[in-house]
Amino acid sequence: MSEALRLEGVRVVRGGRTVLDVSSLRVGIGERIALTGPVGSGKSTLLLAAAGLVDLAAGQVLLFGDLFHAGRAPGLLALRRRLALVAQEPCLFSTTVRGNLAAGLTYRGISRQERDRRCDAWLPRLGLEDLAGRSASQLSGGERRLVALARALVLEPELLLLDEPTTHLDRALLPRVETLLADALPPTTTVLMATHDAAQAVRLAGRVLSLEDGRLEA
């Protein structure tokens, strides 16, 4: 199995306490994995570690077989651009909804034509076409979450890290987003998603992992 992500002996210490202690996690390319566990069990920390956004007290993270970690070492940027993270409390850029989607594509040097093509494709998939010109500061909490998700999806990343992507979405939107995650991504896209919704984990994931006090349960 080719690996998208691998954590070996990863330990994260916060506030003097070990909050993540993963001896081994291997995620194959194209796998869809749900990460469950009680509040404070380390789901978000694991996703941040996978995204190279926290310092590790021990261990290593490999992304597509290459060593990956927090920092600015040469080569890290190219590796980082193969993934996208939707944080649990996402911050949007101070621009329009469409501007939020376009920003990451601009940073990656993607042509204007391709930027427009991808925004035109993804805005309606998330039902955001009518909000495209609206300032991000004038969105509801649920709308902000949809934009954060769209901003990640438009990058068409090889590894998608989602931290409770459907929290605060209503009954009408939940199936739309779940269908999108199930059907609109290429089969080679790897997804690691934290969720409190056990039924959703079963619906969307081929494998469900459970964290307890920072450790993966067997």
Ligand X SMILES: Nc1ncnc2c1ncn2[C@@H]1O[C@H](COP(=O)(O)OP(=O)(O)OP(=O)(O)O)[C@@H](O)[C@H]1O
By the rule CB under 5 A, 135 interacts with Mg ion: no
Q: Which does 15 bind (CB under 5 to 8 A by kind): ligand X, Mg ion, none?
A: ligand X
User: Which tokens hold the place of 119?
Assistant: 């925004």
Strand order in the sheet with 3-14: 17-28, 3-14, 58-63, 66-68
* String marking each residue 56-95 x if it binds Mg ion according to CB under 5 A: --------------------------------x-------
Q: Which does 172 bind (CB under 5 to 8 A by kind): Mg ion, ligand X, none?
A: none
Residue pair 69/50 in contact by the 8 Å Cβ criterion? no
By the rule CB under 5 A, 210 interacts with Mg ion: no
Measure the CA–CA gap between 103 and 99, rounded to whole angstroms. 6
Q: Which does 37 bind (CB under 5 to 8 A by kind): ligand X, Mg ion, none?
A: ligand X
Complex with Mg ion: residue 15 or 109, whichever CB lies closer: 15
Amino acid at 103: A
Residues 6+ apart with CB under 8 A from 209: 25, 33, 34, 35, 36, 216, 217
The CA-to-CA distance between both ends of the chain, in Å, stands at 20
**Where along the sequence are the contacts to ligand X (CB under 6 A)?**
14-15, 19, 37, 39-45, 88
Interactions with Mg ion, residue window 25-44 (CB under 5 A): 43-44
Complex with ligand X: residue 152 or 154, whichever CB lies closer: 152
Q: Which helix (H) or strand (E) holds 3?
A: strand 3-14
Complex with ligand X: residue 5 or 102, whichever CB lies closer: 5
Binding site for Mg ion (CB under 5 A): 43-44, 88
